Amino acid sequence: MTVPLNLSNRDQNSGHLFYNRRLRAAITRFSVRMRHDDRKQQAAVALSIVLVVIGIGWMALLHVMKPSGLVGQSSIVGDRDTGAVYAKINGRLYPALNLTSARLAVGSAGSPTWVKASEIAKYPTGPIIGIPGAPDSLPVTASAESAWSVCDAAAARGSGTLPVVTSIAGRLSPIGRSEPMSPKQAILATHKGATYVIWRGQRSRIDPADRSVTFNLGLDPGVTYPIEISNALFDAMPSTEPLVLPAIPGRGAPSRWVPGSIVGRVLQTRDASGTVNGFYVLLPDGVQKITSFVADLLRTADSEGSTTPTPDRARQTDSNPGGRCARRRLLSVGEAGFR
């Protein structure tokens, strides 16, 4: 016998739902009068949740599109309320007249980080810097090259005339005397009574009375005269430490690493073919690798001369736990010194 499946109609479904709501009200509120509709409360809760989610999403979008901003590592900072621009240099904020001036001050073409005035107040400020009338912004092209030059026309020796300075915005044509110096070339110059050697785009001060330095540079103080340079050319070149004879502690004392040698002696190593491939100076607690120029300085000032240990002996001395001397810098220009 087959019983047909009777589907419920709309009225039956509505009555069943009403019965469930009434039963729920009787259990939870101890009343079947149903003065409060739970469906409205559920709808209000659901709507509140939706509104909260929308608000959180909107705040997250604003945080990405328009963040509140922290100074942090930014080199250019802007006040979001007033539009003022600051250049951050050595932890201090300098008000700049315009964005171009701020970029020139920090040496970067970055965009400013906009922050609130309360964030700017956390940092000390300096005097106003900048170029009056400069545009607020300039187009920045990543592939563009920037070049400038400072040229001196040296006056004749003994004339008392100051050198003529010329600034050139652009590259020099490498012809004639404007050819760049090779790494093995240098110029002897003087500025305000001091003597300098110009090499590889930098200047190193020397003492003309120090024969160990002038001899190894091939200078004769009585014959070679320095060229007077201007303040502009002097300031355009970075400076190194003075070129002097390295001071070695305990110089002349017997060495405990190389028997028969003394502290301060220059050691040189040779490969299997007999070619010199390295120079070292003997220190109280080991050896330090030096350039050939520093080796010549030490040998000129040391009447003991130099020795030639075997490579195994040099490696043994240098690899001793107490003989690592990389922490002691004998001459700051020695690693890239003259050869």
pLDDT tens for 197-250 read 998 889 999 998 888 888 888 887 677 788 888 888 888 888 888 888 888 888
Long-range contacts of 252-258 (CB under 8 A, 24+ apart): 253/284, 255/282, 255/284, 257/282, 257/286, 257/287, 257/317, 257/320, 257/323, 258/282, 258/307, 258/309, 258/313, 258/317
Q: Does the structure show a pLDDT above 50 at 328? A: no
Q: Does the structure show a pLDDT above 80 at 68? A: no
Beta bridge pairs of residue 166? 151
pTM comes to: 0.46
Residues of the chain with CATH 3.30.2390.20: 76-120
Query: Once rounded to an integer, what is the mean pLDDT over residues 331-338?
Result: 37
Between the alpha carbon of residue 273 and those of residues 245, 280, 293, 309, 312, the distances in Å are: 32, 19, 23, 15, 15
Helical residues (DSSP H) of the chain, grouped into ranges: 10-29, 38-65, 99-106, 117-120, 211-217, 231-236, 292-301, 311-318
Q: What angle do CA 290, 291, 295 make, to 5 degrees?
A: 80
- How many other C-beta atoms are found inside a 10 Å radius of the C-beta of residue 115? 22
Q: Does the structure show a pLDDT above 90 at 47? A: yes
pLDDT of residue 316: 44
pLDDT of residue 226: 86
For tokens 């790494």, what's the residue?
183
Cβ atoms 103, 74 nearer than 8 A:
no
CATH of domain 76-120: 3.30.2390.20
Distant-in-sequence, close-in-space partners of 184: CB < 8 Å, separation ≥ 6: 338, 339
Mean pLDDT of the chain: 77
Parallel, antiparallel or unpaired: strands 194-199 and 187-191: antiparallel
Helices H, strands E: what count in the chain?
8, 14
Three-class secondary structure of residue 276 per DSSP: strand
Residue 186's pLDDT band (cuts 50, 70, 90): confident
Distant-in-sequence, close-in-space partners of 315: CB < 8 Å, separation ≥ 6: none
